[in-house]
Structure 1
Amino acid sequence: MNLVDSNLALIAAVTILAVISPGPDFAIIVRNGLRFGRKMGLATALGIAGGVVVHTTYVLLGLSYVVAEYAWVLEAVRYAGAGYLLWLGASAFFPQKSDTQAESCDDVVSVSFGGAFRNGFLCNALNPKTMLFFIALFTQVVSPETSLALKLGIGAFISLTHLVWFAFIVFVLTGQRTQKLVAQWREGVEKVVGVCLFGLGAKLALDA
């Protein structure tokens, strides 16, 4: 196995481990999947994948240097991301706009497709840990000699991995068997996820 193949294997392994690790993206997928149903959950997954495209783009454009050299940029993103997570967490305790209780998860729709997409997009794009992950990945594993096509391919792979994994989570959450299990505890589960999001936001804001 040559150096390029070794690096690609390492990137694939690191990406998969990073994606499946619980974090803000996972929490927002659980929240939207349970609260708004399969369609909006998939929209959220698509938004997360879109956030990954943003990270790939600024790294390829060289803007990662700005993030690395000017600490205030990362700090600004950190506080913006923390504020957004705090708001998402608190929103779990807001009453839903739906006037009727639906038996099926797919019938509960109180957010637009664009709104669900925006939830996932901002959750990922404003996560400073994701920013640092991309900077480290592209500076430590991808060499300056790596072709632009290969870099774009790596970015596409990372984005697609996020989309596939979180779409899978959505389908599991909104399956009939899962819905039957969580139906009577859905409101409680949503509040637990809300507390987790709020906690992640608070931790992000307080981290030195």
Structure 2
Amino acid sequence: MGFDFSVWLAIAIMHAFAVASPGPDFAVVMKQSLQQGRAIGIVTSLGVGSGILLHVAYSILGISIIIKATPWIYQSLIYAAALYLIWMGIGAIRSQANSGTSLKSDDIVSHSAMKAFFIGFITNGLNPKATLFFLTLYTLAIPVESSLVSKSLYGLYLAIATALWFVFVSILASHHRVRKSYITHGYIFDRLMGAVLIAMAIVLVLTQ
């Protein structure tokens, strides 16, 4: 079975609702964009989009079903994600008032870019909610008889659409006026964001 427009439309609608709902990806892109600037925020967004390809790959290979059907593997994924969120949250909560007096430059050095990309990639890649989303998508929304090429094209769309959405978020968050306000009140945002990330980790563990 080849590419089906109606299947793609169903995928696009499901994805739109999923990607627009606040989660770790949104929190990390916002944090990176405000702290490091537009360029780093965009690179982080591209990392998040690339993380989607990881979910697509194991969904196509059927590994997502194995992960879901094997409790200890799935639980390990959840705990790893929770620990990662807590680690980021603690770092944000430790933010100090007036720790900086000027906006950081948007100039990207290779080390910063690689780190930003990795942060986005690992945040999305460790998200068990994404695992469940793709498990549902590739077992229910996408017909089993769909060709490998079609399944790959659907996945590529999801990765690109995710990246574009978060690039848009990073552009808004890194607007000069927004970042200028961040200089004065940034530590408050950082601490709130840290609390949100830790709360996400706790909810993630308790609701599984």
TM-score normalised to structure 2 length: 0.89
Letter in structure 2 aligned against 1:195? A
1:63 maps to which residue? 63
Q: Distance in 1 between matches of 2:177 and 2:196?
A: 24
Is the contact made by 1:19 and 1:161 (CA closer than 8 Å) also made in structure 2? no
- Paired with 2:198 and 2:101, the residues of 1 have a C-alpha distance of 26
Cα deviations by residue, 1:114-168 (Å, 9 ceiling, x for unpaired): 2211211111111111101001001001112111111111101110111001011
Instruction: Name the CA distance, whole Å, in 2 between partners of 1:108 and 1:191.
Output: 26
Q: Following the alignment from structure 2 to structure 1, what is the Cα–Cα distance between the partners of residues 69 and 100?
A: 52
Aligned pair count? Answer: 203
Name 1:79's counterpart in structure 2: 79
Percent of aligned pairs with the same amino acid:
33
1:115-126 counterparts in 2 under 5 A? 115-126=115-126
- 2:137 — aligned with what? 137
Provide the rounded CA distance (Å) in 2 between the counterparts of 1:108 and 1:63. 36
Structure 2 equivalent of residue 148 of structure 1: 148
Give the deviation of 1:95 after TM superposition: 5.0
1:106 is paired with a residue whose SS is coil
Give the conservation status (yes or no) of the 8 Å contact 2:101–2:183. Answer: no
Q: What amino acid sits opposite 1:144 in the alignment?
A: V
**How big is each residue's C-alpha offset from its partner over 1:85-105, in whole Å with a ceiling of 9 and x where there is no partner?**
000111113358xx8632356
RMSD: 2.2
Tell me, yes or no, if the aligned pair for 1:48 and 1:121 is still in contact at 8 Å.
yes
Secondary structure of the structure 2 residue equivalent to 1:89: helix
- The C-alpha deviation readout for 1:29-55, integer Å capped at 9, x for no partner, is 111111121222112111111111100
Asked whether the equivalents of residues 34 and 105 of structure 1 are also in contact (C-alpha less than 8 Å), the reply is: no
